Amino acid sequence: MNSNDNKTPLEYYERAIQELTNTREQLQTELESLKALKDELKSTQNELATTQAKLDDTQRELSNTKQELQQKTEPFEKLSQKIEARVNYCYSNTQDVKKKMDTELETLRKMQASYQTLKDELATTQAKLDDTQRELSNTKQELQKETQVLKTKLDRTQTELSKTKQELKQETEPFKKLSDKIEAQVNYCYSETQDIKNHINSLTSDISARCLSLNYRKLKYFLENKMWKEADEETFKKLLELAGREKEGKLVETDLNLLFSEDLRTIDRLWIKYSDGHFGFSIQTKIYHRLKNTQQKDDQIWNAFGEKVGWCANNIWLWYKSVNFSTSAPSGHLPARIWDNWNQGGVGSFKPLLSRLIDCGI
């Protein structure tokens, strides 16, 4: 049986009254909340009204400002149109320039490709020239050996013939005619041997000249093409090669006697020819001789020489990396690398080279 069935009517009424009381209290609480919400809503409406008024004022100000701006910007409209037209014109010109630059760039690319091809061909030709040079060098050495042997034999023959001639002259009168014939034969043989000797010397000189031409082909190429830095480095490498100091990478004073006059003159002639007399060993020695006639002390002369050719300023000698590899450099500025011994002295520190050049008549 349900417990509610045992309650009396009075209990039911009391319970209902209690529930109504609770409901009333809840309604009062909600009513108070509604009143507070109403007050907040009213306050918000007042704020909205104030904000609307401010917004209206702002709109009026913006409208006035817009009218003023329109009045002020009217004089600039024509200028703006002119600027726009000018911009369009410049843009059109820029496009034309761009097309021209693209065309020139393509031409440069083609030239670069041609240059690379030429460079490859040059490398191949250089390799062939090196092979030919080695062959000619070997041939030259063999001919020199054969020539030396022939010269030795000829000298021995001439000595024997001369001795025989003296002995025959000492013979008695009955053998005088025979002696005259023998003497004539000896003179004939001597003349023949001289012709052979001259011919051998001519062949040796011709081969030496051909070897010399091949040896300096690379230097000649650099100078012909005004590649002054490459030519300066090649000059230094060639002198190292002539002195047998390629491995060490530098020259010392005792190496200078290994540099033949013919090689130094050949290098000088190439520099003189392709720089139109602006660079070369002989240009440097001429400048030095002119300064030497001033009767200054050796150190003063050398410093003055360095300043004259652009290697020295205020007694401070130039480092090789600062050398001017162009025809705007002073006369005699190049060759320069060979004058630098790289012992913290700078260009001009390898002074003994000057004596060797002078000894060779350069």
- pLDDT 10s digits, 163-189: 877 776 666 555 667 667 777 777 776
Expressed as residue numbers, the domain containing 347 is 217-359
221 and 271 share one domain: yes
Cross-strand partners of 316: 313
Spatial distance between the Cα atoms of 328 and 87, rounded to a whole number of angstroms: 43
* 313, β-bridge pairs: 316
pTM (whole model) above 0.85? no
Instruction: Verify that 226 and 322 share a domain, yes or no.
Output: yes
Q: What is the pLDDT of residues 293-339, one digit of tens each?
A: 876 788 889 999 999 999 998 888 999 999 999 999 999 999 999 98
**Nearest-5° angle of CA 152, CA 155, CA 156?**
85
Q: What CA–CA distance (Å, rounded) separates 186 from 165?
A: 8
List pLDDT tens digits, range 213-269.
Answer: 447 999 999 999 999 999 999 999 999 999 999 898 888 888 888 898 999 999 999
CA distance 30 to 328: 103
Q: Are residues 353 and 227 in the same domain?
A: yes
Query: In sequence order, which residues have a C-beta less than 8 Å from that of residue 327 and are 6 or more positions away?
Result: 226, 228, 275, 278
- Out of 171, 197, 215, a domain closes at 215
259 & 200 share domain = no
Nearest in space to 349 (alpha carbons), one of 311, 292, 310:
311
Tell me: the pLDDT tens digits for 264-286? 999 999 999 999 999 999 999 99
Say if residue 305 is in the same domain as residue 227. yes
Say yes or no: 168 and 236 in one domain: no
Q: Please give the mean pLDDT across all residues of the chain.
A: 80
For residue 46, give the amino acid letter. N
Do 268 and 351 fall into the same domain?
yes
Residue 27, domain member (yes or no):
no
| Overall domain count for the chain | 2
| Final residue in a domain of this structure, among 193, 215, 237 | 215
Buried b (16+ CB within 10 A) or exposed e, 264-300: bbbbbebbbebbeebbbbbbbbebbeebeeeeeeeee
Q: pLDDT, tens digit, for every residue of 39-96?
A: 877 887 888 788 788 878 878 887 787 787 777 767 767 776 787 777 678 677 768 7
Q: Is there a domain that residue 78 lies in?
A: no
Torsion from C-alpha of 128, 131, 137, 143, nearest 10 degrees: -100
Q: Residue 231: inside a domain, yes or no?
A: yes
Instruction: Select the more confidently predicted residue: 209 or 169.
Output: 169
Query: 312 near 306, Cβ under 8 Å?
Result: yes
pLDDT surpassing 50 at residue 208: no
Higher pLDDT, 23 or 201: 23
Would 17 be classed as within a structural domain? no
Domain boundary residue, one of 182, 215, 248: 215
User: Domain check: are 222 and 274 in the same one?
Assistant: yes
